[in-house]
């Protein structure tokens, strides 16, 4: 799987640990979606909409990596479940935006145990160490976003 995080200044198992972390996060996301009666892509798309706000179906297609047909079905499912609504775009009634309007009722309950455990782990660090963690989260999210966009352009 390559030499992820392989530099002389890193511990030799850094790549392994990082891959295990990412796999655990992905597994938890899939299990959380299933526990709420959603597909993993549906929960991911809902999360995108809640983080960024309304967007066009085309923008959602780009962000999820789906093609237009599956994105349309995804929006249909989320709209039928009451999580999003299609709203005419201001100034051009031929276009719509997809707006988040709700979230799965069980989502907070389903995610609470992991959130509590992660909160306890982070709470065990000194404030300056927590700042480093959150700096990493923000910068890594941006790096992954950019890398995803580059991959889509290939």
Q: Per-residue pLDDT tens for 47-73?
A: 999 999 999 999 999 888 899 999 999
- Count other C-beta atoms under 10 Å from residue 38's C-beta: 22
- State the pLDDT at residue 65: 87
Dihedral (C-alpha) 4, 51, 135, 28: value to the nearest 10 degrees? -50
Residue 57, SS3 per DSSP: helix
Q: CA 118 to CA 115: how far, in whole Å?
A: 5
With a CB cutoff of 8 Å and minimum separation 6, the contacts of 127 are none
Q: Give me the percent of the chain exceeding a pLDDT of 90.
A: 66
- List of domains in the chain: 14-104 (1.10.10.10)
* Mean pLDDT estimate for the chain: 90
CA of 23: how far to CAs of 18, 27, 56, 97, in Å? 9, 6, 30, 32
Residue 88, SS3 per DSSP: strand
Q: Mind listing the pLDDT tens digit for each residue in 86-126?
A: 999 888 878 999 999 988 878 889 999 999 999 999 999 99
Q: Mind listing the pLDDT tens digit for each residue in 17-58?
A: 999 999 999 999 999 999 988 899 999 999 999 999 999 999
Q: Are 81 and 88 in contact (CB under 8 A)?
A: no
The helix (run of H) or strand (run of E) holding residue 95 is strand 92-100
Considering only the C-alpha atoms of the chain, give the largest distance between any 2 of them, rounded to a whole number of Å: 57
């Amino acid at each position: 799987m390559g030499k992820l995080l392989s530099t002389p200044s890193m511990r030799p198992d850094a790549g392994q640990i990082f891959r295990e972390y990412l796999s655990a996060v992905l597994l938890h996301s899939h299990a959380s979606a299933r526990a709420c009666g959603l597909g993993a892509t549906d929960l991911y798309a809902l999360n995108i909409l809640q983080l960024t706000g309304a967007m066009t179906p085309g923008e959602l297609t780009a962000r999820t990596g789906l093609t237009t047909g599956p994105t349309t079905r995804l929006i249909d499912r989320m709209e039928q479940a009451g999580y999003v609504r299609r709203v005419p775009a201001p100034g051009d009634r031929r276009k719509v935006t997809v707006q988040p309007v709700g979230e799965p009722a069980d989502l907070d309950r389903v995610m609470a145990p992991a959130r509590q455990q992660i909160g306890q782990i982070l709470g065990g660090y000194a404030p300056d160490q927590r700042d480093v963690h959150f700096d990493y989260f923000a910068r890594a999210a941006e790096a992954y976003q950019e890398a995803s966009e580059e991959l889509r352009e290939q």
